[in-house]
């Protein structure tokens, strides 16, 4: 299960990472006509924090920024200096994002360029150096008080940032080389004092190359059970998912029990009446139901039973917080039941035909076995032969389906929840797709993947419980 889950998580992450467009909240790159030579360290701080928080300012799989060349950095600066008019929107934005994302990785190259360049180019290099040398603002988890050590480090970084933003670390516009020399000397002094940050050995470079990436950050959080923050609502993904748990579970559990109980009963009845009109009638009725799409049934029932006949509510899980606060527990339960009857009905019938056919096939196979003929030869009542001897082994195909039932049970139904506006996992997933809230999408998909693996494990265990011939000893 563990390596399978690792593989699934990698596939899910790659699909999200290489999807076109940006996550919600990533912004559009700021003022594209801005003059980079007058780069303000405070500009676009909101976008910078967002990109840092969601690791969008890091390479996807491997970080080779520890060896950025001066030529590569200078080329990006020249593109930004040329602006949109000189290079087009896409090239300009990509160069600007590269410079923003490199951050302190670009400091060694920028320090080298500071002495190599002159005039306006040197001023542009200084602007990006002042931007890149800043420490990112600390991002602490909501509701968690930072430790004293973390707060002390934050204060140290803030003091360093204030020093780098100061007037002593920049020169006035149109300044002469002699006026720039003291500023250059102060930057070189600061760089020597901080040189250990960029003087990495082989092992440290290798570790940073693998860990300081989008995937490295993602998996580092995942190993601690942290699914990240919603880029749309800035809330922990785990809390958002758990808040929808009761809604999806209220639909799925009753539907699951009704569908499986009816499916087993109909499968047994069909198998024991094999080839008879009752068997044909049950099969025809179930396949007619199975052939009707769930969204069509839901829409028709909503239109007729809810909108025209007013027998059921059109949508939602209950009458809302204002109304339910004055209800008794029993009245609230009846209100919920009244609201979810149509969704449960639509939820149930779609799987009923398939499961009952599996139950029928399993029973037909068992009814032909020797031990069933022996039980009948002993004179046992037909009901005892069927329900005591045949059903237990005949339900093995149905047990196999449990592996996929668990994620469906807890994962919600996108179609049903969307049509009836029930705020469960399914509606959360489709809204997150519309809003490009990648962390929420990945969180839901990872939970569904984990549930699938757990369901398969439970299936294997149930095999041994139901069939004495199977043992994993």
Q: For the CA atoms of 52, 57, 61, 63, what is the dihedral angle to 10 degrees? A: -100
HEC profile for 37-71? HHCCCCCCHHHHHHHHHCCCCCCCCCCCHHHCCHH
Cα gap 338→309, rounded to integer Å: 14
| CATH number, domain 245-423 | 1.10.3720.10
Structure token digits, residue 428: 């959360």
Which residues pair with residue 229 across a beta bridge? 236
Give the pLDDT confidence of 7-52 residue by residue, as tens digits.
888 888 888 777 776 665 555 444 444 444 444 444 455 566 667 7
The residue among 421, 431, 429, 413 whose CA lies nearest residue 248 is 413
The residue among 426, 33, 442 whose CA lies nearest residue 217 is 442
pTM over 0.85: no
Give the pLDDT confidence of 395-450 residue by residue, as tens digits.
777 777 776 776 666 655 778 888 888 888 888 888 888 888 888 888 888 888 88
CATH 1.10.3720.10 placement within the chain: 245-423
Ordered mean pLDDT values, 10 residues apiece, the chain (473 residues): 88 81 56 43 56 76 90 94 87 90 92 92 92 76 71 85 89 88 93 88 88 85 81 82 83 83 86 86 86 85 86 81 76 85 83 81 81 81 78 76 68 77 85 84 86 85 76 72
């Amino acid at each position: 299960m563990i390596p399978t889950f690792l593989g699934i998580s990698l596939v899910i992450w790659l699909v999200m990472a290489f999807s076109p467009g940006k996550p919600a909240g990533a912004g559009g790159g700021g003022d594209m006509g801005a003059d980079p030579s007058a780069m303000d360290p405070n500009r676009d701080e909101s976008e910078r924090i967002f990109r840092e928080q969601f690791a969008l300012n890091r390479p996807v799989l491997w970080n080779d920024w520890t060896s950025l060349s001066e030529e590569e950095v200078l080329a990006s600066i020249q593109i930004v200096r040329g602006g949109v008019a000189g290079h087009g929107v896409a090239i300009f934005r990509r160069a600007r994002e590269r410079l923003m994302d490199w951050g302190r990785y670009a400091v060694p190259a920028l320090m080298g360029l500071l002495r190599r360049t002159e005039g306006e180019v040197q001023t542009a290099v200084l602007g990006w150096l002042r931007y890149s040398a800043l420490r990112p603002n600390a991002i602490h988890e909501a509701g968690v008080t930072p430790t004293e050590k973390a707060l002390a480090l934050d204060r140290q970084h803030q003091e360093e940032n204030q020093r780098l933003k100061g007037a002593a670390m920049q020169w006035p516009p149109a300044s002469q080389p002699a006026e720039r020399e003291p500023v250059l000397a102060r930057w070189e002094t600061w760089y020597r004092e901080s040189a250990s940050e960029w003087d990495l050995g082989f092992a440290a470079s290798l570790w940073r190359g693998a860990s300081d990436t989008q995937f490295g950050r993602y998996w580092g959080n995942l190993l601690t059970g942290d699914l990240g923050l919603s880029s749309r609502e800035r809330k922990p993904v785990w809390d958002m998912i758990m808040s929808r748990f009761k809604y999806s579970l209220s639909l799925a559990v009753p539907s699951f029990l009704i569908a499986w109980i009816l499916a087993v009963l109909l499968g047994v009845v069909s198998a024991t009446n094999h080839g008879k009109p009752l068997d044909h009638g049950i099969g025809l009725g179930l396949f007619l139901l199975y052939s009707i799409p769930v969204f069509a049934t839901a829409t028709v029932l909503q239109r007729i039973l809810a909108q025209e006949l007013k027998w059921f509510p059109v949508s939602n899980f209950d009458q809302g917080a204002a109304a339910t606060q004055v209800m008794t527990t029993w009245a609230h339960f009846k209100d919920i039941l009244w609201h979810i009857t149509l969704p449960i009905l639509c939820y149930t019938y779609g799987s009923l035909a398939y499961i009952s056919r599996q139950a029928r096939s399993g029973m037909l196979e068992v009814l032909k076995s020797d031990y069933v003929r022996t039980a009948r030869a002993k004179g046992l009542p037909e009901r005892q032969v069927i329900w005591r001897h045949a059903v237990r082994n005949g339900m093995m195909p149905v047990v196999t389906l449990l592996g996929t039932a668990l994620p469906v049970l807890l994962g919600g139904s996108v179609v049903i929840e969307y049509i009836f506006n029930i705020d469960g996992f399914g509606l959360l997933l489709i809204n997150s797709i519309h809003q490009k809230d990648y962390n929420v999408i990945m969180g839901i998909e990872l939970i569904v993947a984990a549930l699938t693996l757990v369901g398969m494990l439970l299936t294997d265990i149930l095999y041994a419980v139901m069939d004495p011939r199977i043992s994993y000893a």
